Amino acid sequence: MTHSAEGPAVTREIAQRMREVRDKRGLTGAELAERMTGLGVPWDRSIVANLENGRRQSVTVEELLALALILRAAPVHLIVPPDDSDAPYQVTAAVTESRFRVRSWIRGLFPLERLPGVGAVRDFWAEVPDDEFGAMQQGQCPACGGRPPRQLISKEDS
């Protein structure tokens, strides 16, 4: 992972997206920290400031998920900017792919490697739940397991 005075590349992306979405939602750094603490992730305003200013070197998965809940955004959109799909995104120091490919990989739609070996593809798909894999084979939404999204939302709301 490339490190600089502003921290690792992925952490910088998360910090920038956190700031952008926080501003869109009208939250101050103190309000964000308070809500994080309310979800069991003890943050204060200085943690928000240090992350946004590049003085914090990492974000835990727990922190990322709590941020996504608070900011009402899918975690993938805090990790990888949703615009300019062809722009390069640095996954590791040795791996850079387009934002589109990285978002698709995070969503579990396909392996990140452009031409992976057959075994690598089999391994990747072996981790997909059966209903999602079946839906994908039938050209349906794999994230929905073949169920219409409205059906999923109404089930959650009841």
* Inside any domain, residue 44: yes
pLDDT at 24: 96
Give the 3-state secondary structure of residue 96: strand
Same domain for 71 and 13, yes or no, is yes
What residue numbers bound the domain in which 144 lies? 128-158
* Inside any domain, residue 87: no
DSSP character at residue 133: H
Same domain for 132 and 73, yes or no, is no
The rounded distance, in Å, linking the Cα atoms of 76 and 89 is: 13
The total number of structural domains in the chain stands at 2
* pLDDT one digit per residue (tens) for the chain, 158 residues: 344 444 578 999 999 999 999 999 999 999 999 999 999 999 999 999 999 999 999 999 999 999 999 999 999 999 999 999 999 999 988 889 999 999 989 988 888 887 667 777 778 888 888 887 777 777 777 666 666 655 555 555 55
Of 56, 79, 102, the residue that ends a domain is: 79
Phi/psi for 96 (5° steps) reads: -130, 130
* Inside any domain, residue 106: no
pLDDT at 5: 42
Tell me the sheet residues that pair with 75.
Answer: none
Q: List the structure tokens of 152.
A: 């999923």
Nearest to 8 by CA among 81, 78, 67, 58: 58
Strand ranges (E), 49-151: 88-90, 96-98
Q: What is the CATH number of the domain that holds 37?
A: 1.10.260.40
pLDDT at 150: 57
pLDDT at 3: 40
* Inside any domain, residue 138: yes
* Inside any domain, residue 88: no
* Inside any domain, residue 61: yes
* Inside any domain, residue 148: yes
* Inside any domain, residue 147: yes
CB 72 within 8 A of CB 59: no
The rounded distance, in Å, linking the Cα atoms of 56 and 44 is: 13
Give the 3-state secondary structure of residue 79: helix
Tell me the sheet residues that pair with 96.
Answer: 90
pLDDT at 127: 82
Q: Give the CA count within 13 Å in the CB-facing half-sphere of 81.
A: 18
